[in-house]
Amino acid sequence: MLRDPALEGVDTGREAICRGRVQRRRMPGCNGVRDFIHWVVAGDRTAATLPSSLGERGWRACVVSSAEAVPDLSADGGGHCCAGLVDLRGCHGPAPASLQHIRDVLGSGRAWVAGLSPGQVRLDVVRKLVRDHCHDYVVLPCEDGLLATVLGHAHGMARLGGRDDVLAAPAPSLDGMIGDSAAMQLLYRHLRRVALTGAPVCIGGETGTGKELAAAAIHRHSARRDGALVVINCGAIPDSLLQSELFGFERGAFTGAIQRKRGRFEHADGGTLFLDEIGDLPLESQASLLRFLEQGTIQRLGGHEDIAVDARIICATHVDLGEAVERGRFRDDLYHRLRVIELHMPPLRERDGDIALLAAWALARHVGEGGSHVRGFTLDALRAMHDHPWPGNIRELVNRVRQAVVMAEGPRITARDLRLADAPVAMQTLGEARSEGERVAIERALARNGRRLQAAARDLGISRVTLYRLMNRHGLRGQADGTGTG
């Protein structure tokens, strides 16, 4: 049973608290000295003496003996002291309330090393505490130098990718769009510039790259920011309903039209209308949209009156509209009207450095879910994320991290938690292996080229006709053109 009066509400750590505060005020100015918190969780502080050589090795301890005395990094402001030694030698099976308290402090923004007595790691409760919340553990007393090395690793890991950096650092962003890569910096500049005009904008890019976020950023930076941003996904509404949804209807326009209804265009008056998946717009609605772009008016279904609407049109597509025009699925004249300004959302795999940044941001966002205490990513997870082609882009990354936060067994998310570890190799014939390789190569080429068949075929060194045939064979047709036809 853990006996730690401080954790149970009786403060025996006054002196230590004072020492801690004095130390903390001095710490930021000291160069070349690495500070760490030595938290003696239970028992006699003097019995918890550390090797004196720690000081010679540039380590200075801030000794505390209660959870309340452990400095809060956010209060310190700088996070200069990010290693901690939690001395559990006096603990022999903590009481549940105390355990929760220890957990809360351990999870509060520092890389902790547990100091244990011989054999203590065999206690279930201690093992779980160490596994879930500590960077490492040492059995004390230990060899001179070992503790300094372990603390050094903890300090370095906290700075590199530990909770301090991962969960506290604000991610560079524009209106909720996280990203610091050159591709995103360029995009931010373009978005700001585009926002100053009123011209239609067509945003292209693979699924999950943030086209809707980009549209929202343009709206928020434009003179129309006080008006509504109305969003409609043209692919999500049945063709038969889309026209009335967009343009509204008059009473009696069809069976069930018992009263007049305004459509999305009218709702967007004075603001912006974002037409997502514009490639799915049926031909009838394409004609009405073209009329709006040319005359600035719409007609409700069943009506004859021209209604003036002042809305800016932003549209997005993940299919190649040029190809849709070629196939007669999209009007040529509308295509040219819509692409007065074209923006392209870079795929995640082309955003240098953004994968780690977004993963850290997603982790910080979801870490509280299900009581998770995950503190960062292992090196193999970072490597696997770097190598993955991310066909679902940011949406896929956020979903993988979110699920990993819930499922992770240890304090750091691994490639396996992200479902990016190599699957066990199944028995395959040579023919099966070749076919599998072919499928993967096609999928990657399609992902790399924003699902544009011509470009993917060029990449693969085959004709478009051959690519079509192979996609049919591997059941990839629907994925590539977004329609399953053609």
Query: Which residues of this chain interact with ligand ATP, rule CB under 6 A?
Result: 177-179, 205, 207-213, 276, 316, 318, 394-395, 398
Residue nearer to ligand ATP on the CB measure, 363 or 398? 398
Cα separation values, 142 from 12, 50, 64, 139, Å:
27, 9, 20, 6
| Orientation angle between helical segments 430-448 and 453-460, nearest 10 degrees | 130
Residue nearer to ligand ATP on the CB measure, 192 or 395? 395
Q: Taking Cα atoms as reference points, which of 336, 345, 350, 293 lies closest to residue 316?
A: 345
| Orientation angle between helical segments 393-407 and 354-366, nearest 10 degrees | 50
Residue type, 115: G
Burial class (CB in 10 A: 0-12, 13-18, 19+), 175: middle
Residue nearer to ligand ATP on the CB measure, 209 or 243? 209
The runs of H, that is alpha helices, within 107-230 are 124-133, 146-161, 163-168, 182-195, 211-221
Q: CA-based angle 450:451:455, to the nearest 5?
A: 85
Closest distance of CB 334 from ligand ATP, Å: 20
**Separation of alpha carbons 395 and 475, rounded Å:** 23
**Separation of alpha carbons 186 and 184, rounded Å:** 5
Residue nearer to ligand ATP on the CB measure, 5 or 176? 176
What does R_g of the chain's alpha carbons equal in angstroms? 30
Closest distance of CB 276 from ligand ATP, Å: 6
**Separation of alpha carbons 361 and 356, rounded Å:** 8
Closest distance of CB 341 from ligand ATP, Å: 17
Eight-class DSSP state of 148: H
Closest distance of CB 401 from ligand ATP, Å: 11
Residue nearer to ligand ATP on the CB measure, 50 or 281? 281
Closest distance of CB 307 from ligand ATP, Å: 29
Residue nearer to ligand ATP on the CB measure, 88 or 315? 315
Residue nearer to ligand ATP on the CB measure, 35 or 276? 276
Residue nearer to ligand ATP on the CB measure, 210 or 248? 210
Evaluate whether 205 touches 347 at the Cβ level (below 8 Å).
Answer: yes
Question: Is the preceding omega at residue 141 within 30 degrees of 0, hence cis?
Answer: yes
- For ligand ATP, the nearest residue by Cβ is 210
Residue nearer to ligand ATP on the CB measure, 66 or 209? 209
Q: How far apart are the first and last CA of the chain?
A: 71
Residue nearer to ligand ATP on the CB measure, 130 or 184? 184
Evaluate whether 102 touches 15 at the Cβ level (below 8 Å).
Answer: no
Q: Residue 39's beta-bridge partner residues?
A: 64, 86
Evaluate whether 34 touches 59 at the Cβ level (below 8 Å).
Answer: yes
Give every CB contact of residue 422 below 8 A, 6+ residues apart in sequence.
Answer: none
